[in-house]
């Protein structure tokens, strides 16, 4: 491992001044970054520990939204009463990730910026365009059972591993950040860049930007929401497919629906075609299946991950049916 410096910071201006150094990385819980440093994928010259910054609060906003500080731990986010009441799928998504110990360490900002779990990415001896641009993609003709079916390219078929990000995507979260030049914000829909031929460029964050928080706009529909994650063992495993869904129906008709998929693309995937197909449609299993088909028509499966298309279709039907039945009780 390369020798590195370590600096704890206590205020945002001090953090972003240090963060302007291209060799520096912000350190949240370290649960992803430190692993990548051990394997040699990340080689920072300086770690800027952000956990003492005054950015760990979760505050309800007027009208029913939430402001979530970037250094709030995943555990605190999942346990917060207003998260559980206003955005239950978000609390469920966070609790579906990692383990209790990891969630106690992991931060909200770090979770959004965690890197892919593609085994070729974390093994420096393998070709990987994301780690070493131009070296090739070992997964396309290799092990890709858990790789992307949506929005990928021949240059990279990796998926984003965050559960939290899927729920945040369904609820139109906005990421706020600070740089040495001032503050900025990015809707999560624009935060992750398309893969194209530059899979090493993952987000639209300016260089050296410190994520300061996430704003969730008010969304009454989110009170009737659910996160469902499918994985290869019952706990402590990344998703092979997941869904965050929220539904509002009246007289058997869909008034509003939110849908996002996880583990199918390089970013949490907002299922807008499915949402469009469902709005105003009868809240029935047939409509839910047709909406899933509308979204998944764009899927491009590799030889070993075609099962994800069926998996996601079944998730859409099952979770929306449950939400419909619960709302009717
Ligand atoms: C065994 C294991 C299982 C896991 N299972 C799951 C799972 O099922 N689902 C899931 O979603 N996650 C899972 N995780 C991932 C875990 O949730 C992430 O490692 C964690 O959320 C990252 O948070 P962190 O604060 O530790 O980030 P760090 O490791 O500290 O940082 C990650 C990245 O974010 C950057 N960063 C951190 N904070 C900021 C900031 N404020 N501004 C700008 N950049 C910042 C760092 O520089 C780094 O690039 C698992 C992890 C492990 C080790
Ligand atoms: S899928 Fe992406 S991360 Fe995995 S080997 Fe290919 S380029 Fe690298």
CATH of the domain at 269: 3.30.390.50
Q: Is residue 17 part of a domain?
A: yes
pLDDT digits (tens, 9 = 90+) for 151-198: 999 999 999 999 999 999 999 999 999 999 999 999 999 999 999 999
Ligand 1 center to 77 CA (angstroms): 14
* Closest listed ligand to the CA of 305: 2
Task: Indicate whether this model's pTM tops 0.85.
Answer: yes
Ligand 2 center to 97 CA (angstroms): 22
Q: Is residue 290 part of a domain?
A: yes
pLDDT digits (tens, 9 = 90+) for 16-29: 999 999 999 999 99
pLDDT at 169: 98
Q: Is residue 16 part of a domain?
A: yes
Q: Is residue 264 part of a domain?
A: yes
**% residues pLDDT > 70 (the chain):** 100
Of 3-7, 148-152, 231-235, 251-255, which range is least confident?
Answer: 231-235
Q: Is residue 19 part of a domain?
A: yes
- CA dist., res. 264 & res. 240, Å (int): 8
Q: Is residue 322 part of a domain?
A: yes
pLDDT at 19: 98
Q: Is residue 63 part of a domain?
A: no
Q: Which atom of ligand 1 is nearest to the CA of 32?
A: 29
**Best residue among 41, 120, 143 to mutate for probing ligand 2, ranked by most atoms within 8 Å of CB:** 120
Give the structural domain span for 41.
Answer: 5-49
**CATH number of the domain within which 13 lies:** 3.30.43
Q: Is residue 134 part of a domain?
A: no
Q: Give me the number of domains the chain comprises.
A: 2
């Amino acid at each position: 491992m390369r020798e590195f410096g370590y600096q704890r910071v206590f205020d945002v201006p001090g953090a972003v001044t240090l963060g302007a150094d291209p060799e520096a990385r912000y350190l949240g819980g370290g649960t992803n970054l430190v692993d990548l440093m051990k394997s040699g994928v990340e080689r920072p010259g300086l770690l800027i520990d952000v956990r003492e910054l005054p950015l760990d609060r979760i505050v309800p906003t007027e009208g029913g939204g939430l402001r979530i500080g970037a250094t709030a731990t995943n555990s605190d986010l999942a346990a917060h009463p207003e998260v559980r009441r206003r955005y239950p799928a978000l609390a469920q998504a966070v609790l579906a990730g990692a383990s209790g110990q990891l969630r106690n360490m992991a931060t909200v900002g770090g979770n959004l910026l965690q890197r892919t779990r593609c085994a070729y990415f974390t093994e420096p001896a393998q070709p990987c365009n994301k780690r070493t641009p131009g070296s090739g993609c070992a997964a396309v003709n290799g092990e890709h059972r858990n790789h992307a079916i949506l929005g990928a390219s021949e240059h990279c078929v990796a998926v984003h591993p965050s559960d939290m990000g899927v729920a945040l995507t369904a609820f139109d979260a906005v990421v706020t950040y600070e740089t040495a030049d001032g503050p900025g914000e990015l809707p999560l829909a624009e935060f992750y860049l398309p893969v194209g031929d530059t899979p090493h460029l993952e987000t639209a964050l300016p260089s050296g930007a410190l994520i300061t928080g996430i704003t969730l706009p008010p969304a009454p529909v989110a009170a009737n929401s659910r996160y469902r994650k499918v994985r290869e063992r019952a706990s402590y495993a990344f998703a092979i497919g997941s869904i965050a869904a929220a539904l509002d129906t009246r007289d058997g008709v869909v008034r509003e629906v939110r849908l996002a998929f996880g583990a199918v693309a390089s970013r949490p995937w907002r299922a807008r075609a499915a949402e469009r197909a469902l709005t105003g449609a009868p809240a029935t299993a047939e409509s839910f299946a047709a909406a899933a088909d509308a979204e998944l028509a764009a899927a491009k499966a590799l030889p070993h991950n075609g099962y994800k298309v069926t998996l996601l279709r079944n998730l859409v039907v099952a979770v929306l049916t449950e939400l419909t039945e619960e709302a009717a009780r």
